[in-house]
Amino acid sequence: MTNKPTIRDVAKHANVSPATVSYVLNGVKKVSDKTKIRVLEAIEQLGYYPDFTAVSLSKRKSNLIGIMLPLTDDMPDNATASVLKNNLYYNEFISGVEMVAREQQFDTLLTGVADQEECRKWVKKRNLDGLIFLGIFPKSIFEQMSKLGIPIVLIDTYEEYTKLFNNVQIDDELGGYLAANHLIKLGHKNIAFVSTNLNLSPVDTKRFTGFKKALNEAGLEVNNHLLFETREITFENGMEIAEKILNENKELTGIVTVSDILAIGMIKAFQYHQKHVPNDFSIVGFDDLSISQFTTPSLTTIKQDIFKKGEKAAELLMNNIGDQGVERQIIELPVQLVVRESTKKIVSN
Amino acid sequence: MTNKPTIRDVAKHANVSPATVSYVLNGVKKVSDKTKIRVLEAIEQLGYYPDFTAVSLSKRKSNLIGIMLPLTDDMPDNATASVLKNNLYYNEFISGVEMVAREQQFDTLLTGVADQEECRKWVKKRNLDGLIFLGIFPKSIFEQMSKLGIPIVLIDTYEEYTKLFNNVQIDDELGGYLAANHLIKLGHKNIAFVSTNLNLSPVDTKRFTGFKKALNEAGLEVNNHLLFETREITFENGMEIAEKILNENKELTGIVTVSDILAIGMIKAFQYHQKHVPNDFSIVGFDDLSISQFTTPSLTTIKQDIFKKGEKAAELLMNNIGDQGVERQIIELPVQLVVRESTKKIVSN
DNA sequence: TTGTACGCGTTATCAT
DNA sequence: ATGATAACGCGTACAA
């Protein structure tokens, strides 16, 4: 038979009880060395390995972690997929999580959630051992989640109500500061800030804070006309903003964005309208995606190691799953200015 | 208690047996309408929903499907992650699978596999209901897999020994043909073909076949010096090939590649060495990734709908999981030439 | 070390 | 035709 051997098969083969086999498997030191060896041999011979489903049912532990992607209400049902499709950021992050999880015999599940009920069900249905929240979620969801009793790691959250969870983040304010400062040092005085809706994104707000700080320090005034908000981070939205800038004839030479994606879209639109980057506009991205050094011009950007962010998040989660009662941690990863071709010293008039 | 209600709780609440509840849940028509309503009410009131782990254990069905990524032996252990990280292709594909799976209450697991044993174990451990193979795998793995007794969908395979599985593919030969033909029509006569190792990649071989066909039809000779093979599809390898072309002073004006990634890398290297695309080299990519219309120059490429490929693969898999004995199917998705800025009519001398 | 109840839903068997 | 009982899937962990 190609049938998978069970723990009872092994037990029979080794002339012991299933319990003993289980003890050997789990390193419970209740077993004499000689029986242990017999059991190990039997396991080897039969090619036995435990069924995770059964383990999961009896231990109430699935060796499964979940990554939660945000779905706003106005998105179509199938938005998980489209979020993934368009956002290279998620891709790298998930890879990092995957890698660490796999090393520890965990598998990773992905979902988008519209409401907390759905989320709770998902966790319960699959007996998930831990959760990573990637993105912004409403307060109510966290209240629900904290009742779930499983470790949770948040990414890039600043809201007060998230303070009781683990968090992996970067110094977003510094990122915004570095980006603006870079342009200022290049002589730019009229600098735009391009982000998602600041009311909805504390991350972008932090970056904006850093941005403003740099301008203030340089004695430059923060001009609200040079703040551009878009709903979602896509290439297309980047193009739209660039066109808006051109249409409205904004006076500016420098642009700080919260995402390489937006920056790339903007550059494309500028080029389409015969504007040159960096000659006409200097643009700083954010993230340093793998594509960003291969665009033309290559992107000056604030680099964060998204892959490592995923790794750290998974490590944190694993530690918490391993033993509860670990204290809540905040891990801050570094950001760094990477200067490439999309920014340039301004040509004074 | 916040404890999840079990089927027995529901049964008690409705004054029936657990079995009856199960029947109602599974639509077994053994239950009178009045009891059914009672049960439904109890379910509603208690907020009951079944535990997938338990269902999985008793039904031997997990509502989980797996996507298998290839790991060659010489890759590091953690290569799943890096494959994902670098390959935007996978990203879009997986999104498509995810979406369809989710609609049917399935979750999707991802893994890279080095050998068939590991793969088999993974399937067994998690009781996976179906498998999608994304990429090229050795023959031996398929022999093992066919014994597993779960539906399998292959992507882009042409090997003889894969003929007994479902397959989702595109017309790769046509793709190669269209790409070459486009360049020929633009007046190019010395056209390179850039691919992975043709001995290892039947897909690239098909495209090469189409490529050669177009050249032959046009009375052009296929020059082996203009065939460039690389090990892996990365931006960096694209750059390398471009540099090789420049270093060796190859006489060519047109380039057909098997991937947008390679094309983007090549363009970058050309630009770095003061060569202009498309003025000096016309380049055709393959895939039409979401980034490809935002590079500079934007890519002329052979478009395939990778997202849809994922959707189709998942649909096929779901159908097969639903009822076995469905006949093996091959689904061929269309390819299409998308002309953008990276190709141009040759300036005759 | 072992026997065995348990976790939770399913389904074959049996009863009305 | 309805519905209950109980064994089962597989590993775990407590009592003995």
Q: Does A103 touch chain B (CB under 8 A)?
A: yes
Instruction: Name the maximum alpha-carbon separation found in chain B.
Output: 91
Tell me the pLDDT tens digit for each residue of B271-297. 999 999 999 999 999 999 989 999 999
* Phi, psi dihedral angles at B136 (to 5 degrees): -105, 130
In a domain, A299, yes or no: yes
Asked if B107 lies within 8 A of A103 by C-beta distance, the reply is no
Check if residue A124 sits with its Cβ under 7 angstroms from strand C: no
Left, alpha or beta for B252 (phi > 0: left; psi -120 to 50: alpha)? beta
The CA-atom distances, in angstroms, between B136 and each of A190, B111, B113, B233 are 52, 14, 11, 13
Q: What is the domain count for chain B?
A: 3
What pairs with residue A336 in β-bridges?
A: A303
Q: Which residue out of B107, B113, B232, B272 would a mutagenesis test of the A interface target, given it has the greatest number of A Cβ atoms within 10 Å?
A: B107
- A17: nearest nucleotide, CA–C1' criterion: C2
Nearest CA to B324 out of B156, B163, B155, B148 is that of: B148
Residues 20-49 of A with CB under 8 A from B: 49
Across the range A37-52, mean pLDDT stands at: 92
Nearest CA to A145 out of A167, A172, A115 is that of: A115
- A34: nearest nucleotide, CA–C1' criterion: C1
Q: What's A27's domain CATH number?
A: 1.10.260.40
CA–CA dist B31, A324 (Å, integer):
45
In a domain, B344, yes or no: no
Helix (H, G, I), strand (E, B) or coil at A56: helix
The whole-number pLDDT of residue A2 equals 56
Q: Does B78 touch chain A (CB under 8 A)?
A: yes
Mark whether B196 and B296 lie in a shared domain. yes
Mark whether B188 and B275 lie in a shared domain. yes
Check if residue A19 sits with its Cβ under 7 angstroms from strand C: yes
CA–CA dist B140, B161 (Å, integer):
10
Look up residue A149 and give its amino acid. Answer: G
Spatial contact of A164 and A139, defined as CB atoms under 8 Å apart: no
Q: Which residue out of A91, A124, A131, A298 would a mutagenesis test of the B interface target, given it has the greatest number of B Cβ atoms within 10 Å?
A: A91
The overall average pLDDT reported for chain A is 89
Nucleotides of D under 7 A from a protein CB: 1-6, 8-14
Helix (H, G, I), strand (E, B) or coil at B150: coil
Across the range A288-292, mean pLDDT stands at: 92
Tell me the pLDDT tens digit for each residue of B163-182. 889 999 999 999 999 999 99
Question: Which of B84 and B52 is assigned the larger pLDDT?
Answer: B52
Asked if B111 lies within 8 A of A108 by C-beta distance, the reply is no
CA dihedral of B91, A292, B336, B339, whole degrees rounded to 10 = 170
The CA-atom distances, in angstroms, between B132 and each of A53, A67, B166, B305 are 21, 21, 10, 17
The whole-number pLDDT of residue B91 equals 79
Tell me the pLDDT tens digit for each residue of A46-98. 999 999 999 999 998 999 999 988 765 555 555 565 566 566 778 788 889 98
CA–CA dist B314, B131 (Å, integer):
9
Residue position matching structure tokens 């391993």? A322
Nearest CA in chain B to A84: B95
In a domain, B75, yes or no: yes
Packing angle, helices A235-247 and A260-272, rounded to 10: 50
Spatial contact of A227 and A193, defined as CB atoms under 8 Å apart: yes
Question: Which of A188 and A103 is assigned the larger pLDDT?
Answer: A188
Tell me the pLDDT tens digit for each residue of B91-150. 788 889 988 998 898 999 988 766 777 788 888 889 999 999 988 787 888 877 888 888
Q: Which of B85, B125, B264 has its CB closest to that of A51?
A: B125
Nearest CA in chain B to A292: B295
pTM for the full predicted model: 0.89
Mark whether A182 and A251 lie in a shared domain. yes
Q: Is the pLDDT of residue B3 over 90?
A: no
In a domain, B128, yes or no: yes
Asked if A295 lies within 8 A of B295 by C-beta distance, the reply is yes
Asked if A57 lies within 8 A of B62 by C-beta distance, the reply is no
Asked if A124 lies within 8 A of B51 by C-beta distance, the reply is yes
Q: Which two tokens stand for residue A324?
A: 């509860």
Left, alpha or beta for B128 (phi > 0: left; psi -120 to 50: alpha)? beta
Could you give the count of Cα atoms lying within 13 Å of B300 in the half-sphere of its Cβ? 24
Mark whether B90 and B145 lie in a shared domain. yes
Contacts of A296 in chain B (CB under 8 A): 267-268, 271, 295-297
Asked if A103 lies within 8 A of B78 by C-beta distance, the reply is yes
In a domain, B2, yes or no: no
Mark whether B225 and B247 lie in a shared domain. yes
Tell me the pLDDT tens digit for each residue of A245-262. 999 988 999 999 999 999
CA–CA dist A220, A254 (Å, integer):
13
Asked if A53 lies within 8 A of B126 by C-beta distance, the reply is yes
A226 secondary structure, DSSP code: G
Mark whether A41 and A186 lie in a shared domain. no
In a domain, A344, yes or no: no
Q: Which two tokens stand for residue B56?
A: 């999985």
Asked if A2 lies within 8 A of B62 by C-beta distance, the reply is no
B48/chain A closest Cα distance in angstroms = 10
CA–CA dist B301, B283 (Å, integer):
8
Residues 181-220 of B with CB under 8 A from A: none
The whole-number pLDDT of residue B228 equals 97
- Where does the pLDDT of residue A1 fall: very low under 50, low under 70, confident under 90, or very high at 90 and above? very low
Question: Which of A9 and A163 is assigned the larger pLDDT?
Answer: A9
In a domain, B240, yes or no: yes
- Where does the pLDDT of residue B1 fall: very low under 50, low under 70, confident under 90, or very high at 90 and above? very low
Q: Which residue out of A1, A83, A107, A306 would a mutagenesis test of the B interface target, given it has the greatest number of B Cβ atoms within 10 Å?
A: A107
Left, alpha or beta for B72 (phi > 0: left; psi -120 to 50: alpha)? beta
Q: Does B294 touch chain A (CB under 8 A)?
A: yes
Asked if A85 lies within 8 A of B102 by C-beta distance, the reply is no
Q: What is the span of the domain harbouring residue B12?
A: 7-46
Mark whether B188 and B289 lie in a shared domain. yes
Spatial contact of B327 and B300, defined as CB atoms under 8 Å apart: no
CA–CA dist A31, B3 (Å, integer):
35
Tell me the pLDDT tens digit for each residue of B156-165. 999 888 888 9
Helix (H, G, I), strand (E, B) or coil at B179: helix
Residues 126-155 of B with CB under 8 A from A: 126-127, 147, 149
Mark whether B180 and B328 lie in a shared domain. no
CA–CA dist A199, A141 (Å, integer):
18
Across the range A272-299, mean pLDDT stands at: 95
Q: What's A250's domain CATH number?
A: 3.40.50.2300
The whole-number pLDDT of residue A57 equals 93
Mark whether B185 and B298 lie in a shared domain. yes
In a domain, B288, yes or no: yes
Mark whether B204 and B295 lie in a shared domain. yes
B160 secondary structure, DSSP code: G
CA–CA dist B167, B160 (Å, integer):
12
Mark whether B124 and B272 lie in a shared domain. no
Q: Is the pLDDT of residue B325 over 90?
A: no
Spatial contact of A10 and A21, defined as CB atoms under 8 Å apart: yes
Mark whether B64 and B105 lie in a shared domain. yes
Check if residue A15 sits with its Cβ under 7 angstroms from strand C: yes
Lowest mean pLDDT segment, chosen from A71-85, A293-307, B29-43: A71-85
Q: Does A265 touch chain B (CB under 8 A)?
A: yes
CA–CA dist B241, A153 (Å, integer):
42
Query: DSSP assignment of B236-256, as one string?
Result: HHHHHHHHHHHHTT---SEEE
